[in-house]
């Protein structure tokens, strides 16, 4: 009997082999049915009568054997080696009858020779025949266990490994055996629109790898800004996982109501590009001691260097444990932990008290607002131990004076805790792009290398040598083709969609347009995605149904600019500066301000997007 698809796990287990060897070590005579033993024992004499007729005894035994063989067709018989049982009867017979019946044996020698042809000899007459073992018939019960068949193997034969040990007994069944556990884990990630996606990841998969997996599954652009967010709705806390963190380990420390969110965060490594915007000189103790301007590279080098010890200092509101009151203290953030001074702004060791360490803690942003905790400002953050799941007593609630100081505290906490690991995570994608093989890029032919940029916007073409001018000409030509396509009409037939109506709805297909969302929701989305310069979105105006609003972040402040429609020669345009610069649709407007600052405080750089998993 073959077993299809049997896993190797069950065949390699040693306990199956041990169980089989224990079953084969039992004596076969212990498995003989008691009914047959009783009937066989009745054929043998157990008394010491001197007048026993040997011929009658042989006839009785032959008749008993014939009766047993006659039942073989009716009942299932199994031949087993029963030499020990037969030898026991032979020894018992010789011990009781040989001293008293020597004359009877000689008298009936001829008669017993006649019966030898049809009666199997019970006793071997020579040493060579002692090796031959006669099998005795056994009655097999109608219902038997599979384990009983294993016990009926002769004990004299060597132990033969069973190739299918899972069929020996219910204990060896694959159903009852422990199934080998996989190293993969199930993680569920949620998007901004409330949809979730379940992914199966190994235990050593980092947060960056999971983000790349979700980017691949969601068919969105990987610009190294996607992050996994650890979200605790009951506590009102969330933080972005670092790219090197193991997702399975973070999930093990989360409570059942917590979850992972998948969103963009442009400020994750923005401090490497513009460190002076994140570390004001009045908050960095080293800058105050130098009494001069500090180069950006040297400022970051001190944070990443393990031998140096930069220090962040400033006033922070600290919530008193078990109460809703807050206390303003002067804090010092070092590699060894976060300290507060018991005497003004004193740095003396006897005046410093440890509030929290950095090694076993993580820094979170409080998203519930200041009313829940009665905070003095809206710029709350907290330090939560890594092992604490939902215990509010172990969470240190803090509150900064403004957004810049809060960002400084949180960024310095990450740099002092992880150090050079953060720079490796930031530099990794850029280094991989620079190390790409030249064969990975499409090879241009000789004819393509001989091509030059030309301008065909006028009546005559001209060769463009300046790359910036070539890009501007290409953009202008693309816009011309778009307008030409909108005006195109075959034989004067009406267009399926009027150009004016197309201009009013074409922007709804863009990732930066979010429709009818409230002002507070726009603020929340900008804050969640990093509050870097140039982060923007467009939405419908709540006050004017025909207007739109541009929400833009600059210097960690969120500003709103109204886009008003204006009509000229029967055509509707959109403008940010009261008609000074007009655009046929919002896509043209966004493309223009991505290249030109205009009346805005900065160019449009990063669209605030939301992906659906």
pLDDT tens profile 573-596: 999 998 899 999 999 999 999 999
pTM of the model: 0.59
Measure the CA–CA gap between 560 and 554, rounded to whole angstroms.
11
Res 434: pLDDT:
63
Question: What is the structure's pLDDT at 473?
Answer: 62
Domains and CATH numbers, the chain: 184-264 (3.10.20.90), 270-431 (2.30.29.30), 453-481 (no CATH), 497-607 (3.30.505.10)
Tell me which of 64 and 518 has the higher pLDDT. Answer: 518
Is the pLDDT at 465 greater than 80? The verdict is no
Q: Which two tokens stand for residue 475?
A: 């953009």
Residue 335, pLDDT > 70, answer yes
Q: Which residues contact 373 (CB under 8 A, 6 or more apart)?
A: 319, 324, 366, 380, 397
Give 463's pLDDT tier (boundaries 50, 70, 90): low
Judging by DSSP bridges, how do beta strands 606-607 and 535-540 pair with one another? parallel
pLDDT at site 285: 78
Is residue 499 within 8 Å of 486, Cβ to Cβ? yes
Task: Kindly write down the DSSP assignment for every residue of 65-122, as one continuous string.
Answer: HHHHHHTTTTS-EEEEE-HHHHHHHHHHHHHHHTTT-HHHHHHTHHHHHHHTTTS--S
Predicted pLDDT at 232: 93
Please say whether the beta carbons of 207 and 240 come within 8 A: no
Q: Is the pLDDT at 436 greater than 90, yes or no?
A: no
Q: Which residue has the higher pLDDT, 282 or 17?
A: 282
Q: Are 554 and 573 in contact (CB under 8 A)?
A: no
Contact 531, 553 (CB under 8 A): yes
**Report for 100-104, 463-467, 555-559: range of highest mean pLDDT:** 555-559
pLDDT per position as a tens digit, 478-534: 555 444 444 443 344 444 444 455 666 777 888 899 989 999 999 999 998 988 999
List the single range of 135-139, 340-344, 482-486, 547-551 with lowest mean pLDDT: 482-486
**Range of 89-93, 340-344, 495-499 with top mean pLDDT:** 340-344
Q: Tell me which of 591 and 18 has the higher pLDDT.
A: 591
**pLDDT band of 470, cuts 50, 70, 90:** low
Measured torsion, CA atoms of residues 111, 114, 116, 118, in degrees rounded to the nearest 10: -130
């Amino acid at each position: 009997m073959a077993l299809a698809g049997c896993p190797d796990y069950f065949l390699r287990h040693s306990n199956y082999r041990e169980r089989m060897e224990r079953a084969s070590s039992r004596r076969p005579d212990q498995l003989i049915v008691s009914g047959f033993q009783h009937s066989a024992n009745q054929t043998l004499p157990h008394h010491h009568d001197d007048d026993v007729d040997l011929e009658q005894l042989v006839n009785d035994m032959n008749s008993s054997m014939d009766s047993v063989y006659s039942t073989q067709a009716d009942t299932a018989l199994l031949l087993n080696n029963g030499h020990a049982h037969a030898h026991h009867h032979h020894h018992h017979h010789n011990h009781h009858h040989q001293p008293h019946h020597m004359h009877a044996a000689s008298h009936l020698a001829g008669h017993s020779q006649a019966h030898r042809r049809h009666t199997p000899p019970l006793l071997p007459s020579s040493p060579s025949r002692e090796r031959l073992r006669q099998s005795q018939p056994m009655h097999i019960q109608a219902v038997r266990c599979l384990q009983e068949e294993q016990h009926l193997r002769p004990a004299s034969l060597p132990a033969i490994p069973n190739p299918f040990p899972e069929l020996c007994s219910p204990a060896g069944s694959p159903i009852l055996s422990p199934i080998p556990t996989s190293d993969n884990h199930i993680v569920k990630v949620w998007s901004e629109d409330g949809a979730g996606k379940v992914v199966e990841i190994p235990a050593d998969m980092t947060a960056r790898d999971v983000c790349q997996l979700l980017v691949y599954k969601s068919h969105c652009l990987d610009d190294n800004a996607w992050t996994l967010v650890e979200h605790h709705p009951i506590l009102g806390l969330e933080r972005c996982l670092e790219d090197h963190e193991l997702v399975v380990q973070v999930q093990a420390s989360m409570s059942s109501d917590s979850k992972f969110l998948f969103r963009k965060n442009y400020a994750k490594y923005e401090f490497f590009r513009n460190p002076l915007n994140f570390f004001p000189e009045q908050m960095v103790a080293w800058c105050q001691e130098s009494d001069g301007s500090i180069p950006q590279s040297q400022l970051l080098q001190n944070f990443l260097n393990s031998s140096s010890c930069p220090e962040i200092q400033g006033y922070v509101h600290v919530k008193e444990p078990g109460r809703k009151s807050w206390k303003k203290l002067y804090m010092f953030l070092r590699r060894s932990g976060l300290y507060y001074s018991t005497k003004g702004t004193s740095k003396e060791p006897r005046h410093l008290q440890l509030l929290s360490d950095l090694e076993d803690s993580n820094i979170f942003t409080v998203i519930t607002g200041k009313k829940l905790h009665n905070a003095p400002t809206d710029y709350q953050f907290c330090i939560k131990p890594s092992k604490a799941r939902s215990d509010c007593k172990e969470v240190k609630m803090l509150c900064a004076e403004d957004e810049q100081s809060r960002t400084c505290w949180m960024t310095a906490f990450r740099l002092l805790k992880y150090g050079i690991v953060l720079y490796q995570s930031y530099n990794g994608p850029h280094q991989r792009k620079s190390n790409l093989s030249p064969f990975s890029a499409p090879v241009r032919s000789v004819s393509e290398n001989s091509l030059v940029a030309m301008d065909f916007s006028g009546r005559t073409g001209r060769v463009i040598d300046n790359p910036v001018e070539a890009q501007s000409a290409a953009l202008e030509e693309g816009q011309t083709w778009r307008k030409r396509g909108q005006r195109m009409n075959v034989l004067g037939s009406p267009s399926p969609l009027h150009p004016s109506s197309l201009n009013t709805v074409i922007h709804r297909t863009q990732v930066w347009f979010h429709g009818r969302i409230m002002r507070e929701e726009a603020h929340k989305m900008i804050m969640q995605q990093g509050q870097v310069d140039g982060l923007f979105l467009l939405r419908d105006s709540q006050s004017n149904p025909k207007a739109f609003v541009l929400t833009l972040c600059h210097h960690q402040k969120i500003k709103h600019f109204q886009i008003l429609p204006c009509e000229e020669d029967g055509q509707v345009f959109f403008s940010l500066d009261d008609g000074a610069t007009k655009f046929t649709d919002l896509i043209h407007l966004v493309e223009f301000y991505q290249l030109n600052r205009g009346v805005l405080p900065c160019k449009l750089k990063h669209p605030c997007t939301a992906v659906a998993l």
